Amino acid sequence: MRLLTLARVLLLLAPAARALADAPAELTVLNYHEVADEPDALSPAYAVSPTNFLRQMDWLRNHGYRFVSVDDVLASREGRPLPEKAVLVTFDDGYRSFERYAWPVLRMFHIPSVVSVVGSWLEAKGTIEYDGKPRPRDAIIGWDALREMVKTGLVEVGSHSWDLHRGVTGNPQGNQEPAATTRRWIDQETGYETEKVYRARVRADLERSSDLIRKRVGRAPRVIAWPYGRYNAVTRDVALALGMKVGLTLDDGANTRDTPLFALRRLLVERSMSLQDFSRELAARERDLSDQDRPQTIAHVDLDYVYDKDPAQQERNLGHLLDRLQKLGVNTVYLQAFSDADGNGSADAVYFPCRRLPMRADLFNRVAWQIRTRTQVRRLYAWMPVLAFELPKTDPAAGDVVQAIAGGDHPERPVVNMGYRRLSPFSARARQAVREIYEDLARAAPFEGVLFHDDLTLSDLEDASPPALAAYRSWGLPGSVEEIRRSDDLLGRWTIFKINALDDLALELAGVVREQQPAVKAARNLYARVALQPRAESWYGQSLDNSVARYDFTAIMAMPYMERAADPTAFFRDLVAAVERRGAMKRVVFELQAVDWASQNRPVPTEELAATIRSLYGMGVQHVAYYPDVLFREHPDARVLRPALDARPAVQQAR
């Protein structure tokens, strides 16, 4: 894939901001590339015409916006507030057109700016490699011009890396992915570069960039524009150690006082953006609209359907999936990253390189990348268990599993049989194993969110393992599940403790992933009965109130056949009412079932699914999903389902 096309895709799929921030928006950062007319542009999609650029700067000045510098931004974190409607203007790549067309405007209006340069481009002789093709070196600005601009105090030179503004091979199938955040695939014999080699590669590049800028303009960079907007803990830590306190992303949303300096969000200004579009996008940034404000239509996809021992057949299966997603028109995918080949509900392998589990195939990266770059899908979530892992028997944590007592003798407490093997969340060894699985996932592929599987649950007969009983005693409870269950008061306390312990573990894992992919969202599956029956919290160790407060999204399994609901219409109505009472509609996904597993895997008619989706939209539901997508049976029927999905509520404001 061409690299600037890659950048465009990454923008469209850029991780969105969190929900409406408690702190008000205090800074808008604009991102420009070329300022040139389309025929003269190296990358026309990113080229803002000189006339439009002038109009935009003039409009900002006439509508109360105040241009600020990097000094102002840094001072604001030391207690000196920014002016209202503060704007920082930034330029990436360092095109010659900046000197010819943007600089006269900035100089006349006295607008501070940041120009982030790719060191290898400026040092090149004759040609540079740009968009996979050789281009004349003189398409890029020269050091002499930059030095003169820096002397005025209006231009600050930032780093855009020495040579990380390109793709590297990210998987065995050959996809080109951002060099700064991708562990390179070397070859079949070597595999991926090690973490040590990756860190050294990033450090060497950014050190070279920093040293070069210091040598050429007399000052080391304080700003880095992350190549393709992507960064992780490694790139962040290296940049901070080199004095680059300000990092510029392409993330969505407002910059508040709580936004880290190394992750300032920017609005990318493109050629197609009219002045009306420009003003609307600025307003959206100031309101901090997020994914929760933008209706999601979600296909929940089993990677087990794509996998095949024959690589050629596997690629055909992937092509079939991509075609199907395009026909469905969904904007979000929950993609299985684990393998449950024997169908027992527990993951015994994964689809990415992993220290603690066998890799069935190195497939997750390939499929995720293809979905994100070859379809209209804008958000991809890695669907993963939290506890339901079958570790190899030789693993020290393999036997640290959830234990259940015998039960079912209480008439008001039905037994909920979870039906699959899970690691105990109270075992330190098991938690460490799961942490390492998630670390490996986060390094293996880029994605926008994690969906925690429905295994994030403990019934009121669980967990009776020794580490669990020790945890209960530390909570001031008896070290006996039987004794706890004999008292409604103790049962209630125990349930609240367990719910929070499970959520703490899941969000700890989300934090592990965010070390590599800082803007990742956390979503979790929730049983519908938990939302409908207060006592069900103790049966499942789940709470809708806790979930909507702590996760970015809660995907309620709105599956009347699975729940054996006597009246599906009433089931959906009551579920919607439960969410509405909590004011949580923007944070809840209603996930429908496309197969009735209780009736010999009978496909739920697509017409029924479509009617349900329309009905849910009519009741105010914003986000809908379905599971499973039965790939080779073309179920649900895209011709019937897509019109229903397309009837989703109007987007308040979207890119």
H or E segment and range at residue 441: helix 428-444
Q: Is the pLDDT of residue 168 over 90?
A: yes
pLDDT tens profile 332-361? 999 999 999 888 889 999 999 999 999 999
- Residue with the two structure tokens 């690589």: 311
The pLDDT, as a whole number, for residue 345 is 87
- The two most distant CA atoms of the chain are separated, in Å, by 84
Percent of the chain with pLDDT over 70: 94
Residue 350 contacts residue 339 (beta carbons within 8 Å): yes
Taking the C-alpha atoms of residue 629 and residue 399, their distance in angstroms, rounded to an integer, is: 34
Asked if 9 and 229 touch (Cβ cutoff 8 Å), the reply is no
> Quick one: pLDDT band at residue 409, thresholds 50, 70, 90?
low
Dihedral, CA atoms, 326, 327, 333, 338, nearest 10 degrees? Answer: -90
| Residues in CB range of 533: below 8 A, 6 or more apart | none
3-class SS letters over 451-464? EECCCCCCCCCECC
Q: How many Å apart are CA 587 and CA 556, to the nearest integer? A: 10
- 9 versus 459: the higher-pLDDT residue is 459
Estimate to the nearest angstrom the gap between the alpha carbon of 440 and the chain centroid.
16
Task: Write out the H or E segment, with its range, that includes residue 362.
Answer: none
Confidence at 418, pLDDT banded by 50, 70, 90: low
Instruction: Evaluate the CA torsion angle 268, 273, 274, 277 in order and state its sign.
Output: negative
Phi and psi angles of residue 482, each rounded to the nearest 5 degrees, phi first: -60, -45
DSSP 635: B
Q: In the 8-state DSSP scheme, what is residue 627?
A: E
Q: In what helix (H) or strand (E) does residue 508 lie, and over which residues does it extend?
A: helix 488-516
**Total Cβ atoms within 10 A of residue 134:** 11
Cα separation, 219 vs 312, in Å, equals 53
* pLDDT value of position 17: 39
CA dihedral 103, 105, 111, 115 (to 10 degrees): -30
Q: In the chain, what percentage of residues exceed pLDDT 90?
A: 86
Task: Return the closest-CA partner of residue 114 out of 279, 243, 247.
Answer: 247
Task: Please name the residues in contact with 645: beta carbons below 8 A apart, sequence gap of 6 or more.
Answer: 297, 328, 329, 330, 613, 624
Per-residue pLDDT, averaged over 35-44, amounts to 90
Given a cut of 80, whether residue 376 has pLDDT beyond it is yes
- Whether 416 shows a pLDDT value over 60: the answer reads no
Cis peptide before 628 (omega within 30 of 0): yes
Helix (H, G, I), strand (E, B) or coil at 324: helix
- Residues 410-415 have a mean pLDDT of 50
Q: For 248-261, what is each residue's pLDDT tens digit?
A: 999 988 999 999 99
Higher pLDDT, 126 or 202: 202
Q: What pLDDT shows up at residue 354?
A: 98
Of residues 267, 287, 218, 317, the one with CA closest to residue 631:
317
127 alpha carbon, distance to own chain's centre: 36
Domains of the chain as residue ranges with CATH: 3-289 (3.20.20.370), 292-645 (3.20.20.80)
The label of the residue with tokens 């024997």 reads 342
Q: What is the pLDDT of residue 630?
A: 96
* C-alpha–C-alpha distance, residues 31 and 54, integer Å: 15
- Find how far residue 408's CA is from the centre of its chain: 41
End-to-end C-alpha distance for the chain, whole angstroms: 23
Chain mean position to CA 75: 31
Residue in 27, 171, 4, 19 with CA at minimum distance from that of residue 92: 4
Q: Which residue spans within 385-516 are E strands per DSSP?
A: 449-452
The pLDDT of residue 578: 98
Q: Which of 417-421, 463-467, 505-509 has the lowest mean pLDDT?
A: 417-421
Tokens 């979905």 sit at which residue? 371
Is residue 330 a contact partner of residue 594, using CB atoms and an 8 Å limit? no
SS3 (DSSP) at 369: helix
Residue 268 has pLDDT above 80, yes or no: yes
Do residues 623 and 584 lie in contact, with contact meaning Cβ atoms separated by under 8 Å?
A: no
Contact 580, 574 (CB under 8 A): no
Give the residues across from 185 on adjacent strands: 192
Q: For the whole model, what pTM was predicted?
A: 0.92
Average pLDDT score over residue span 166-184: 96
By the 8 A CB rule, do 126 and 81 touch? no
The three-state secondary structure class of 215 is helix
Residue 22 pLDDT exceeds 80: no
**Read out DSSP for 514-570?**
HHHSTT-EEEEEEEHHHHH-TTHHHHHT--HHHHHHHSSEEEEE--TTTTT-S-HHH
Backbone angles phi, psi at 649, to 5 degrees: -60, 155
Instruction: Give yes or no for residue 652 having a pLDDT over 50.
Output: no
* pLDDT tens-place string over residues 299-324: 999 999 999 999 999 999 999 999 99
The answer for 435, left when phi > 0, alpha when psi is -120 to 50, beta otherwise, is alpha
- pLDDT tens digits, one per residue of 190-242: 999 999 999 999 999 999 999 999 999 999 999 999 999 999 999 999 999 99
**In sequence order, what DSSP letters do the residues of 177-198 get, joined into one string?**
EETTT---EEETTTEEPPHHHH
- β-strands 449-452, 521-527 pairing: parallel
Number of C-beta neighbours around residue 547 at 10 A: 27
The residue-averaged pLDDT of 23-30 equals 89
Q: Which of 193, 172, 166, 228 is nearest to 366 (CA)?
A: 172
At 654 the pLDDT is: 39
Tokens of 130: 């740009």
pLDDT at 289: 80
Average pLDDT, the chain: 93
Per the DSSP assignment, residues forming a β-bridge with 133 are 130
pLDDT number for residue 410: 53
User: By mean pLDDT, which of 411-420, 500-509, 602-611 is the weakest?
Assistant: 411-420
E strand or H helix at 301: strand 297-301
What backbone torsions phi and psi does residue 382 show, to the nearest 5 degrees?
-80, 120
Q: For position 15, what pLDDT does the model report?
A: 45
